[in-house]
Structure 1
Amino acid sequence: MDYSNLRKILHTPGWSDAQERTLLEPYTYISANPGKEFRGKLIDAFNVWLKVPEEDLKVVTRIVRMLHNASLLMDDVEDNSELRRGLPVAHTIYGIPQTINTANYVYFLAIEELLSLRDTTSKGKKKDVDVVGLVTDELLHLHRGQGLDLFWRDTLTCPTEKEYVDMVLGKAGGLLRLAVKLMMAKSESEVDYVPLVNLISVWFQIRDDYMNLQSTEYEANKGYCEDLTEGKFSFPVVHGVRADNSNRQILNVLQKKTTSVSLKKHVVDYLRDETKSFDYTRKIIVDLQNQIQDEIRDLGGNKYLEIAIKSLALKDDE
């Protein structure tokens, strides 16, 4: 390379397709092993009501998928996870620095994708919605929720149920709200579906917390009671700790971030038999499922959304 007149040949840094593929490897890895695609199903179901133009809907779906998978890359690093969907997590293969950089890069790729939505209209009717501001707002909520979750874990601070629900609205609700808000911005409908989205988000996370400590399927995909190894204040754990503040058994096990099956089984038995936390959690999940069904009915009914919710509804033996 000739450096004698470098100023004249320096422009935008060069970037090849091969370099792009290399940088995206951790993201490509996690994307190649999709989960149940529940968020994608919800987007399709809400579109029964919103009727977003096909091209706009494709963009929204891509944005949400990119942000979701990028956030999973970061979550696995922050939680020191070992398995994701039954396979080794990306950072154990590609390293923590590369995985973090890739996740951040994909956030910006999603913003770049978002710009294509700014000037499109729906059947000539343009809504005055700042989609970049909308997405930024929800990503702030997501990171605030994640930040609280990490703070509670790392300082062994048990939140109240109200604090837990507020955290979930940010961490778990952010991306789903983002998707539906973008769809609402590109729809002729004036109906506000955000309250329903919030209900679904809280139900989904509490159900996920319950299944992590109860489901053999979750054990196969993520490891036995992984939330206890992470030291996470999941919903059953919050109830169990708050049920008897004088008993520190749960807190002591969480603090250890143990991989011991016998210790984790002890906590599960305690939550089941002593504090009845699984009974309580199950009652809340079923109640939220009923509220969601009532809300869907009040909004005019949506069989595709009902099917999506029913697919994850707790069964009698769970």
Structure 2
Amino acid sequence: MRETLAEWRPVIDETIADLLPREVDAEYLESFFGEATYSYDPEGVQCALSDPVWDLLDRGGKRWRAVLFLVFLEAFGEDPEPYLPYACIPEILHNGTIIVDDVEDGAAIRRGEPALHHVYGEDVALNAGNAMYFLPLKILTNDPADLPAERRLAAYEMLMYELNRTHLGQGMDIYWHNEREVRIGREEYLEMCACKTGCLGRIVAQLAAIVADQPPEVTAAVADYAELTSIAFQVGDDILDVENSLGRAGEFGKEFGNDIREGKKTLLVIHAIEESDPADAERLQEILGAETNTDEEIVEALSIIEGAGSIEYARERALELAAEARENVRGLDLEPAATDQLLEFTEFVVARDV
């Protein structure tokens, strides 16, 4: 899977550059956004949109959502090449959510460098992030693969439904962050992941199924696969944040103790609060509820989480989710090689170290 991701990433970036060039000029603006009423300012668009977006993209990211879309098409027996622009839809959406999420969380670091709002300002970051929710819709409008009208409409309706649920999940996460004394359970946390992270995965699978004209039962099965895999990915991300802070992960690209500093209600934290002795549980909640934390307090919180066996619990839960995901594609009549990649991907999202 790592080789597949590495192979496709340059191609994905080239295709994104067709949608939003690294160098913006008047010709691009008129061809993409229509004739100006008066006069566009290419320099302004360059500085406020293209530069911050490509700054983020060039920092890394695996482009796994775009690549997973292409693997799905291969599984459906389609040549993925004509659909490369569609593969960029979930990837651009994902990066837009990252930019906005970092502003909302007050994040300091993203992919090893200062978060975009610290580089360009909150106004530029929010506008660029929001633009990335809408730019991909132009792909469906321009329709490079010449899809039938009913499939394009189905894709629009699916995107609107899933994007609304994405913001539902983000709203839950923000509320838990702001109201740090709120107690939530494991099921509420997983539901938040299903919305915030799972919906982007569902977009990947459903978009591939729609453009490949798959029947409803196949679309539903691959959507469930992608949702469960995405939740497993999020739990894996939470584990990596802790292990990175404990010095056990690779170059994760986030601040030391990032989730603790932000008071995140992760699966590890919820488990630790439920399973620790009352004094440790209360202390962990106190650290999470503080506006700021010292490095010593971060280490103390990590020690409580590790001592409660929460890392092992979260990893086991992620593996269970990955196993559930695999069951959704095993019974489908898909191309064998691509099916193997889909099965392998569910293991990659849990076992990765960056």
- Give TM-score scaled by structure 2 length: 0.78
For 1:218 and 1:149, the matched residues in 2 are separated by 26
Distance 1:207 1:283, change over 3 A: same
> CA–CA distance in 2 between the matches of 1:51 and 1:129?
23
In 1: Cα distance, 2:315 partner to 2:167 partner:
28
The 8 Å contact of residues 115 and 132 in structure 1, kept in 2 or not, is answered as: no
Counterpart-to-counterpart distance in 1, 2:253 and 2:67: 21
Letter in 1 for 2:189: Y
Q: In the aligned structure 2, how far is the partner of 1:264 from the partner of 1:256?
A: 11
Partner secondary structure for residue 248 of structure 1: helix
Q: Could you say which residue in structure 1 is the equivalent of 2:70?
A: 44
Summarize the Cα distance change of 1:177–1:214 in structure 2 as closer, same or farther, 3 Å threshold.
same
1:245 deviates by 8.8
The letter of the residue matching 1:214 is E
Of 213, 221, 231, which aligns to 1:188?
Answer: 213
Of 256, 267, 278, 2:290 maps to: 256
Pair 1:296-2:342 in alignment: no
Compute the displacement of 1:129 (Å): 4.3
- Map Cα deviations across residues 148-175 of structure 1 (whole Å, 9 max, x no partner): 0010111121321111111111100121
CA distance 1:18–1:199, shift in 2 (3 Å): same
Which residue does 1:310 correspond to in 2? 347
Counterpart position of 2:133: 107
Equivalent runs, 1:96-175 vs 2, <5 Å: 96-117=122-143, 120-121=146-147, 127=151, 129-156=153-180, 157-175=182-200
3-state SS in 1 of match to 2:345: helix
Q: Distance in 2 between matches of 1:307 and 1:257?
A: 41
Contact 1:218 1:224 in 2 (8 A): no
Using the TM superposition, name which of 16-25 and 201-210 deviates more: 16-25
Alignment CA distance shift 1:131-1:237 (3 Å): same
Give 3-state SS (helix, strand or coil) of 2:135's partner.
helix
C-alpha deviation, 1:219, in angstroms: 6.3
Q: Give distance in 2, aligned partners of 1:86 and 1:312.
A: 20
Which runs of 5 or more structure 1 residues have no equivalent in the other structure? 1-10
Aligned to 1:17: 42
Among residues 293, 300, 311, which one is paired with 1:278 in the alignment?
Answer: 311
Q: Do residues 269 (structure 1) and 306 (structure 2) align?
A: no
Counterpart-to-counterpart distance in 2, 1:292 and 1:87: 33
Say if 1:134 and 1:117 are closer, same or farther in 2 by CA, change over 3 A. farther
CA gap 1:135/1:293 in 2 versus in 1, 3 angstroms: closer
Shift of 1:97: 1.2
Q: Which residue of 2 aligns with 1:6?
A: none
| TM superposition shift of 1:259 | 4.3
1:205 aligns with 2:241: no
Residue 212 of structure 1 contacts residue 227 of structure 1 at CA under 8 Å; is this kept in 2?
yes
Q: Bigger shift: 44-53 or 166-175?
A: 44-53
C-alpha spacing 1:31/1:13, structure 2 compared with 1 (3 Å)? farther
Query: Which TM-score applies when normalising by structure 1?
Result: 0.86
Q: 1:120 to 1:142 in 2, by over 3 A?
A: same
> C-alpha distance in 2, partners of 1:55/1:45?
11
C-alpha distance in 1, partners of 2:152/2:348?
36
**Shift in Å at residue 292 of structure 1?**
2.9
Q: In the alignment, which residue of structure 1 is the partner of 2:53?
A: 27
- Larger CA deviation: 35-44 vs 74-83: 35-44
User: What CA distance in whole angstroms lies between the structure 2 residues aligned with 1:182 and 1:220?
Assistant: 29
Match of 1:68 in 2: 94
**What is the CA-CA distance between 1:80 and the residue it aligns to?**
1.1
Mean alpha-carbon deviation: is it higher for 199-208 or for 37-46? 37-46
- Please report how far the alpha carbon of residue 220 of structure 1 lies from its aligned counterpart in structure 2 after TM superposition: 4.8
Q: Is the 2:168–2:196 contact (alpha carbons within 8 Å) kept by the matching residues of 1? A: yes
Give 3-state SS (helix, strand or coil) of 2:326's partner: helix
- Residues 286 and 55 (structure 1), Cα distance of their counterparts in 2 relative to 1, 3 Å cut: closer
Q: Is the 8 A contact 1:236 1:277 kept in 2?
A: yes
Greater Rg by CA: 1
